[in-house]
Structure formats: structure tokens, C-alpha cells
Structure 1
Amino acid sequence: MPKFVFAYHGGGKPESEEEGAKVMAAWQNWLGGMGDGCVDMGAPVGMSKTVSAGGVADDGGSNPLSGYTIVEAADIDAAVEMAKCCPILDGGSGTVEVAPVMEM
């Protein structure tokens, strides 16, 4: 079955431990609900640096990565449907980029 990367951008940082626990539970429920479709739960990532021919941006650029997950789905449309329920979309401050993993 084809694999897809969910690249998370944006999202907010919980303001309290209670809010953090709610966010974590939402992610665990969403990822767990995928069953075998979730190949690699991935992880959040720290502040990145973006390297280009013109130099290095220390702030991760205009749309920095905030985490990733790898899933299996029948096709990209099925993967997009899975991504539509991602907790990072709650509140409208984050996005999910869906891309196929190419076999090498």
C-alpha cells in the first residue's frame, strides 16, 4: 500500500498543562483511530533552519515544519481524508501537507 507523509505546519503551543493534556489526548485518539494505517506516528519537531542557495534562515522560513507522521492509504485522496481530522486543524492555526513517499 502506498505511504504518505503528513507534514504539519503551524499550530499553537498549549498555554497550560490541562490544555496540553487535552491536545495530547486528541492526537493519541486521532493517530490510534488510524489503526494499521499509521506506519510511523512521527513527532513534533523543534525550531528549524532553512537552507537555500541564498543562505540560511534561522527561523525555519515562512512556514516552518512543526511535526510529521507517515501513513499508508489507498491513494492521496484517501490520505487527504485521513488528514482532514488532524487535531492541528482545530482552531485554524495549523495545516497538514500531504505528500506521497516515492519508492527508490
Structure 2
Amino acid sequence: MPQFVFAYHGGAKPETQEEGERVMAAWGAWFEQMGEALEIPGAPVGMSKTVSASGVADDGGANPISGYTVIKADSIDAATKMAKGCPMVVDGTGSVEVAEVMEM
């Protein structure tokens, strides 16, 4: 079954412990809902650097990622449907880019 990367954009660091617990519960519930489709839960990431032939930019690029997850699904449409349940999508604070992992 194909694998897909969910690259998260946006979101915000919780400002209180209570908010952090609420956010983690929402992510945990979403991961549980995906069941065996969840291959690698992933993690949030810090600010990135963009490396190109012209040098290194410290700004994270035009749309820096804020985290990632790897899932398995029958198709990109099925993966996209799963991504719609992402807590950042549901609460309007971010988006999910869905891309198939290509076998080499």
C-alpha cells in the first residue's frame, strides 16, 4: 500500500499547559482515528533553513513546514480525506500538504 507524507504548515505553540493538553488530546484522537494507516506519527519541527545553489536562507522558505507524519492509504484521494481531520485544519490554524512517497 502506498505511503504518503503529511507536511504540516502553520499552527501555533500552545501558550498554556491546559491548551497544550487539549491540543495533544486532539492530535492523539486523530491519530487513533487513522488506526493502522498511521505509519510514522512524526513530530513538530523547528524553523528550517533553505539550501540552494545560491546559498542558505534562514527564513524557512515561502511556506515552512511545522511538522510531518507518514501514513499509508490506497490513493492520494484517500490520504487527502484523512488529512481533512488534522486538528490544524479543523481549527483553521494551518494546512496539510499531502505527497506520495515514491518507491525507488
1:52 aligns with 2:52: yes
1:16 paired residue number? 16
Q: How does 1:84-99 map to 2 (within 5 A)?
A: 84-99=84-99
Equivalences for residues 33-52 of structure 1 within 5 A: 33-52=33-52
Q: How does 1:60-99 map to 2 (within 5 A)?
A: 60-99=60-99
State percent identity of aligned pairs: 66
For the 8 Å contact 1:3–1:72, the answer to whether it is kept is: yes
The alignment's TM-score, normalised by the length of structure 1, stands at 0.94
Contact between 1:11 and 1:89, CA under 8 Å: does it hold in 2? no
Which stretches of structure 1, 4 residues or longer, exceed 4 Å deviation after superposition?
Answer: none
Distance (whole Å) between structure 1 residues aligned to residue 15 and residue 43 of structure 2: 20
CA distance in 1, matches of 2:28, 2:91: 18
| Contact 2:49 2:61 survives alignment (8 Å) | yes
2:2 matched residue in structure 1: 2
Give the count of matched residue pairs.
104
**Structure 2 SS opposite 1:29:** helix
The two structures have a TM-score, normalised by structure 2, of: 0.94
Deviation at 1:90, TM superposition (A): 3.4
SS in 1 for 2:66: strand
Unaligned runs of 5+ in 2: none
